[in-house]
Structure 1
Amino acid sequence: MSKKTTNQKQKTKIVKSLTLREKKIQEIKKRLIAQKDALLSEAEEALNELPGQTIFPDIGDQASAETDRNFMLRLRGREQRLLKKIENAVDRIEHGIFGICEKCGEEIDLKRLDARPVTTMCIDCKTQQEEEEKLKEL
């Protein structure tokens, strides 16, 4: 086999690999947008159901209602952070930088992106970051 034929086969493999990656990234984008829409819909529903500042005759009932309200607001806060991560991931896709580790600059494995599309780091860098955080806690 000639060197030219080998190079052409390698280039074809690279192009196929890129198109598969791009295809998978577009699938991830659709999932992210659907997840964003679902979160927004749930948040709107929850907001409509959130009890106002009602004054209860029994202090125990009032405390219970306040605890429930605070729990719902904390939950909404978590969902807001997830929503921001989703928006950032979609933005990275649109700018062609999705799937690139923000720490080392290498491509993030597609399996990792599929499992956790909002990730911004490859598994090695994320593991290293978590280990450093554990050491800081000691």
Structure 2
Amino acid sequence: MRRLGRYEQAIASIDQALGVDSSDHKIWYNRGEALANLGRYQEALVCFERTVEIAPSDHAAWVFRGVVLIHLNRYEEALSSCDKALEIAPEDKEAWTFRGAALHGLGRYKETYASYDKALGNPKTPRWRKLIQKWVMGNR
């Protein structure tokens, strides 16, 4: 409960900072992160939309935007957001992880496994994973 109060305080401080400089993408990012941690995903999305508008090369903002969209069950948009992050930072493990989560939400399991492998740094799919993938695909 104490943690929630800290996020609320952080949002209040960030709102004050936005009154001073609403063009600072880091302020929007921090506000979005605090709102997401409170489970206020729709409001967080607005902040991450503003962040990527101001700083389109901020790959972390694209990833967090994807995370928020996953929480909102908007998997296609989440996938696009993670793909954008990967255009900027192709080896970003979080982007690969949440790309996998978005693909899972879409029921695209084979691609999900490939994204998770990339997040883990596995260049080749292990045999046991191929067997699981085959079983999953056969039982859908």
Shared fold, TM over 0.5? no
TM-score normalised according to structure 2 size: 0.25
Query: Which structure would you say has the larger RCO, counting Cα contacts within 8 Å and 6 or more residues apart?
Result: 1
Q: Which has the larger radius of gyration?
A: 1
TM-score normalised according to structure 1 size: 0.25
